């Protein structure tokens, strides 16, 4: 009989809870609302979409952390 309680090893996925994402801009696309930035974390590979409304303001995240691509 197998029991799931015999191996109390915590599974800790590599998420934003375990490290601070190191976002790198992969591509940028000028739109009427500003520049849309597609960024990816160099640590875990998560992706996010940012919008920079003005060249002199920092970009803000317009999407949630999209997670790592599944393959
Ligand atoms: Zn990350």
- What is residue 15's predicted lDDT score, i.e. its pLDDT? 54
Asked if 38 contacts 26 with a C-beta cutoff of 8 angstroms, the reply is yes
- What is residue 64's predicted lDDT score, i.e. its pLDDT? 86
- Which of 66, 62, 1, 13 is closest to 36 using CA atoms? 62
Residues with CB under 5 A from ligand 1 (ion): 21, 41, 43-44, 46
**Per-residue pLDDT tens digits for 7-54:** 666 665 655 567 888 999 999 999 999 999 999 999 999 999 999 999
Is 6 a residue whose pLDDT tops 70? Answer: no
Give the C-alpha separation, 9 to 6, whole Å. Answer: 9
- Report the predicted TM-score, pTM, of the whole model to 2 decimal places: 0.66
Tell me how far the alpha carbon of residue 16 lies from the centroid of ligand 1, in angstroms.
6
Tell me how far the alpha carbon of residue 8 lies from the centroid of ligand 1, in angstroms.
26
> Which position has the higher pLDDT, 6 or 34?
34
């Amino acid at each position: 009989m197998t029991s799931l309680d015999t191996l109390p090893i915590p599974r800790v996925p590599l998420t934003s809870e375990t490290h601070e994402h190191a976002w790198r801009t992969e591509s940028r696309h000028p739109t009427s609302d500003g520049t849309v930035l597609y960024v990816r974390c160099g640590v875990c590979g998560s992706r996010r979409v940012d919008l920079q409304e003005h060249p002199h303001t920092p970009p803000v995240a317009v999407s949630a952390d999209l997670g790592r691509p599944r393959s």
